[in-house]
Structure 1
Amino acid sequence: MCFWWGDDLLQFHNDAYLPMLGQRVERAIGAPFRELWSDVWKDVLPFVESALSGKGTWQENLPLIVTRNGYEEPTHWTFSYSPLYDDDGRIAGILNNVTETTQAVKDREALEEAYREAKNHLAERGRYEEELKLLNRELAHRMKNTLAMVQAIISQSLRGASSLTEASATISARIQTLAKAQDLLTGMSVTAAEITAIANAALAPHRDGTGRIHVEGPRVYLSAQQALGLSLAMHELATNATKYGSLSVPDGRVEISWSHRPGDDFTFDWRESQGPAVTEPTRRGFGSRLTERIVSDLFKGQAKIDFAVEGVAFSLVGKLHQAADLDH
């Protein structure tokens, strides 16, 4: 503690006050308050005036920039100013009970920062665990759907094949297409793949470098199931075109296009031209049923193959899955 006395508020203090003085210690006794503590005088003047008017003050952790060791340093102080009276009952000075709380404030701030970091870490861990649960659910869902599709491919291919050799080749080609689509889904996103990449992967075995297959459309993301279904549909159409349609002759062409409009409306078109004359098959195989019925269900719309004389055409009108549906 210290006290300031007289008109000039001359300072006197006890030994416990000495560390607060720094390099001022040699000239502190008897020095006017305003001169000794000129660096903080304006900051504490309201408390001085209050005490001199007869009203004591209390301040906790007041921040002050102090120059007591030859340089400015941020400090904090908890103190009370009380009026001191002379023998005639007049206020003649101020008693200062003070504790420097600079280190305590630093410790508290460090503790608060550590607490905030811990909360952020726990929140981040919670988000990570939720994402992990989502990934696990998506993986289980994806596996079940993929196995169901593989089962359908095998059973329908065996049913429509004339020999085990033919069935083996058909099953292998279809499952390879499915695997490529899965690779794209894994590489691009947990729940969605861009349609251009899906189309290029499905059509890659049928391209001969002459530009007979033309793909055009905006950047559109398909859900996992829609991507797999459309990939298999394109594979079936391309296989049929290579065997019997426009890709079976040198001048044949395939035009593939799609569009995406507000409200998640989606259209997809496959057009073959300059190939052999087309006749509608008497028997519809799994490929046709996949291309029409399964794809239409996946896109909640209508899909149809048209065996026009000038070339096979396939059209799909449906809806893209909403972003909230991509993990279902």
Structure 2
Amino acid sequence: MKSQFPGPWRSSVGDAYEQGAIWDEILAKDWSATSLGPVEAWPIALRTILRTVISSRQPMCVWWGPDLLQFHNEAFLPILADRAKDAIGAPIEVLWADVWTDVEPLISEALAGRGASVNDMPLDMMRFGVSQPTTWTFFYSPVYDDAGEVAGVLNVTTDTTAQVEAGRRQRAETDALTEALGDANVEIGQQREAARLRIVVQRELSHRLKNAYAMIQSIVNQTLNHAESLQEAKETVGARIKALSLAQDVLMESSSDDVEVSAVVAAALTPHQEAVSRIIVSGQKQLVGSQQGLGLALGVHELATNAAKYGSLSTDAGSVRLSWASEGGGFRFEWAEEGGPPAAQPVRQGFGTRLLKRVVPAYFNGSAKLDYAEGGFRYSLAGKPDDEPAPSL
């Protein structure tokens, strides 16, 4: 319909700006009952801002006068939703009662002559009887009357709810992806660490097997060189390799390169079960290196074998006191026989004597003493509980 506004309202290009549903609502309302009065008396400034707002495709509204009555364009209608009916000319505090507390500080800034803006402002807005979370970008500007005084507020707004929600979903997806990537990186790191540990274990196993093989080879060679008969060599080699095997089992069960002396002693005495009850073992918890453990096992086996053949364990009344202790960072091992036949120094020094006197001490970077006392054979070892390179047998 054609506008019925008086001449000053008309556009220089005709009535194009004064057509449409919004103009119809403005014309149909009884303004005489409001603080603005009849439209014929409205100031030119109001008419001008309304023409600008209503012709724009950007959602805009104007709040004018002492009651801040609302005017808006058609682009603003989706924002109004179910409150669009009777929104033209409604006081802002009535029309936007659900969000007034939130936006009032911005309105006050504009009414004070200062522009105000906010991006992605969250507002819980009533729509169709339900409170809905929304977000908005507002630009509030003061609007002046014909006398140059602030008479209202221009609101240029954008509903950013969809964009903010999309951004929130994207961030959630990004966070989930980041977390998944983090978990994947952790798993990859664990797999790499497991692979590294497998290589370490394989290398350690290879190292230990090579050392064991070298010791076995030396034991066989040295035993054959010092044995008086092939049968003696066979029995001695078998016993020594068995002792070494039992000690190797203890080392393989250890989670580190160190092993407890008590475990080594127990393994070395396993072949002498019939005499174990007569071997009194005592010693504090003490760790030694893997190579020291093998050397000590061979030494204990040799001592027990000699005691069973010639010493205190060869008689029912004999016994052995086996002990070890840590002294000032050093290591001391004692083997004392009693109750057996008088000890006598062997006429021929074989591999067993050389093992006890030189080889075992060399593992501990120390020294050993063999005492053939009349009351019983005694063996003492003093050194350091550090894993030294295996000496040559």
Q: TM-score range by the shorter chain?
A: 0.7 to 0.9
The reply to whether residue 314 of structure 1 matches residue 384 of structure 2 is no
**Is 1:197 aligned to residue 263 of structure 2?**
yes
Query: Could you tell me the TM-score, scaled by structure 1's length?
Result: 0.78
1:82 corresponds in structure 2 to: 139
1:35 aligns with 2:101: no
Q: Residues of 2 paired with 1:169 and 1:11: CA distance?
A: 114
* Superposed CA offset, 1:146-167 (max 9, x none): 1110111000100111111110
Q: 2-side partners of 1:16 and 1:303: how far apart?
A: 102
CA deviations 1:31-80 (Å, max 9, x no partner) are: 85562598xx5xx9988888885243446xx9x7979999999x997x64
Inter-partner Cα distance in structure 1 for 2:307 and 2:83 = 102
SS of the aligned residue for 1:107 comes to helix
Higher relative contact order (CA 8 A, sep 6+): 1
| CA-CA distance at 1:92 after TM superposition | 4.0
Deviations 1:276-316 (A, max 9, x none): 10011122211122222122121122222222221122212
Q: Which amino acid aligns with 1:274?
A: G
SS at match of 2:174: helix
**SS of residue matched to 1:251:** coil
- The residue that corresponds to 1:259 in the other structure is 325
Look up the match of 1:56: 117
- Inter-partner Cα distance in structure 2 for 1:211 and 1:282: 30
Q: State the partner residue of 1:283.
A: 348
- Figure out how many residues of one structure are paired with residues of the other and give that number: 310
Distance 2:138 2:356 in 1: 89
Q: 1:35 to 1:183 in 2, by over 3 A?
A: same
Cα distance in 2, alignment partners of residues 274 and 9 from structure 1: 119
Q: Would the alpha carbon gap of residues 261 and 278 (structure 1) be closer, same or farther in structure 2, given more than 3 Å must change?
A: closer
Which residue number in structure 2 is paired with residue 155 of structure 1?
221
* Counterparts of 1:286 and 1:76, CA distance in 2: 93
Partner of 1:241: 307
Take 1:50 and 1:268, find their aligned partners in 2: how far apart are those partners? Answer: 91
Please give the alpha-carbon distance, in whole angstroms, between the structure 1 residues aligned to 2:130 and 2:210. Answer: 71
The answer to whether the aligner puts 1:144 opposite 2:210 as a matched pair is yes
Unaligned runs of 5+ in 2: 1-57, 88-93
1:96-140 superposed Cα distances (whole Å, 9 cap, x missing partner): 452222311210110110121122122222322221221122122
Do the aligned partners of residues 54 and 208 (structure 1) sit closer, same or farther apart at CA in structure 2, a change above 3 Å counting?
Answer: same
The change in CA–CA distance for 1:152 and 1:8 in structure 2 (over 3 A counts) is farther
Q: Is the 8 A contact 2:331 2:384 kept in 1?
A: yes
Residues 94 and 144 of structure 1: CA distance in aligned 2, closer, same or farther (over 3 Å): same
Select which of 272, 281, 297 maps to 2:362: 297
Percent identity, aligned pairs only, is 35
CA contact (8 A) 1:2 1:11 kept: no
- Residue 28 (structure 1) shift: 8.9
Residues in 2 aligned to 1:304 and 1:146: alpha-carbon distance in whole angstroms: 26
CA distance in 2, matches of 1:138, 1:311: 41
RMSD: 4.1
Q: Are residues 25 and 209 of structure 1, via their aligned partners in 2, closer, same or farther at CA, if it must alter by over 3 Å?
A: farther
Could you tell me which amino acid in structure 2 is paired with residue 35 of structure 1?
D
One-letter code of the match for 1:157?
T
Post-superposition shift, 1:8? Answer: 8.0
Judging changes above 3 Å, is the alpha-carbon distance between structure 1 residues 13 and 194 closer, same or farther for their aligned structure 2 residues? Answer: farther
Aligned to 1:175: 241
Q: After the TM superposition, which of the residue ranges 161-170 and 310-319 deviates more from structure 2?
A: 310-319
Q: Secondary structure at the match of 1:174?
A: helix
TM-superposition CA deviations, 1:14-45 (whole Å, max 9, x none): 99998xx9xx975699685562598xx5xx99
